Amino acid sequence: MRREIEKRLKIKAIDIYGLSEIIGPGVSFECEHQCGLHINEDHFIPEIIDPDTLEVLPEGELGELVFTTVTKEGLPIIRYRTRDLTRLNFETCACGRTLVRMNKCTGRSDDMLIIRGVNLFPSQIESVLLEMDETTPHYLLVVDRVNNLDTLQLQVEVEDRFYQDKISELQALRMKIQHQIESATGLSVTVKLVEPKTIERSEGKAKRVIDNRKMI
């Protein structure tokens, strides 16, 4: 997407990383070489940890990014877990800067999804469905990317007695679920009603998300 923007607008698009809990945009930034984001180490101390053991990982290892603020006064933070997965690069950049660089984040250590810039937890979807009599707790989120835009589809099982209703009634139910989800999350979603026991069950932790964006 960035290459397409640069090509069409004839600009250099620079990535800037930040978190609202720390400072917002400005924690790290790319230079003209675009080979990692320089972390402003005079303000933030970065670490990479194993998200399971919380042990600090060796240089260059993939893990969860952790920050400690140095100059923040209103809300100082010590070893804040961002949940973002990345690597740190301590080599001098081609631009001459010696600030440590972080790679683009490859994923999350929790189950949060970022869809069109909005943070979404599957538990938000589940809480809406549990309040509805027509649906079961079994659902599946399918995230994809079409024409450089994220799409979100919710597949949800409905109670058998409702699935036998007329097409118009099922359509009304689908629109009701869609409205409830969009009101709760602020995201547009396509709802697909499926028959009971259609969604695959798991012996362990239920699989709630299929993120096809990771396959691109």
| Band of residue 93 on the pLDDT scale cut at 50, 70, 90 | very high
- Counting residues of the chain whose pLDDT is more than 90, the rounded percentage is 59
Give exposure, 23-53, as e/b (b: 16+ Cβ within 10 Å): beeebbbbbeeeebbbbbeeebebebbebee
- CATH number (2.40.30, 2.30.38, 2.60.40, 1.10.3470) of 2-108 reads 2.30.38
The better pLDDT of the pair 4, 40 is held by 40
- Rounded Cα gap, residues 77 and 98, in angstroms: 24
Q: With a threshold of 0.85, does the pTM exceed it?
A: no
Query: Could you tell me the strand order of the sheet in which 149-158 lies?
Result: 190-194, 149-158, 135-146, 209-211
Task: List residues bridging with 155 in a β-sheet.
Answer: 140, 192
Residue 200 in this model has a pLDDT that exceeds 70: yes
**Fold that domain 113-215 belongs to in CATH:** GMP Synthetase; Chain A, domain 3 (3.30.300)
> Terminus-to-terminus CA distance in the chain, angstroms?
12
Neighbours of 206 (CB within 10 A): 15
| Band of residue 216 on the pLDDT scale cut at 50, 70, 90 | very low
Residue 78 in this model has a pLDDT that exceeds 50: yes
Residue 57 in this model has a pLDDT that exceeds 50: yes
* Among 90-94, 204-208, 209-213, the least confident range: 204-208
Is the dihedral angle over the CA atoms 181, 186, 191, 197 positive or is it negative? negative
Angle subtended by helix axes 122-130 and 167-185, to nearest 10: 130
* Among 25-39, 108-122, 173-187, the least confident range: 108-122
Same CATH topology for 2-108 and 113-215: the answer is no
Q: What confidence score (pLDDT) does residue 165 get?
A: 61
| Band of residue 65 on the pLDDT scale cut at 50, 70, 90 | very high
Residues 6+ apart with CB under 8 A from 134: 158, 159, 162, 173, 176, 177
Residue 213 in this model has a pLDDT that exceeds 80: yes
Q: Where in the chain are the domains?
A: 2-108, 113-215
**The tokens 């100059």 sit on which residue?**
71
Residue 167 in this model has a pLDDT that exceeds 90: no
| Band of residue 33 on the pLDDT scale cut at 50, 70, 90 | very high
Q: Give phi and psi for 97, each to the nearest 5.
A: -70, 145
Q: What confidence score (pLDDT) does residue 163 get?
A: 63
**Averaged pLDDT score across all residues of the chain:** 89
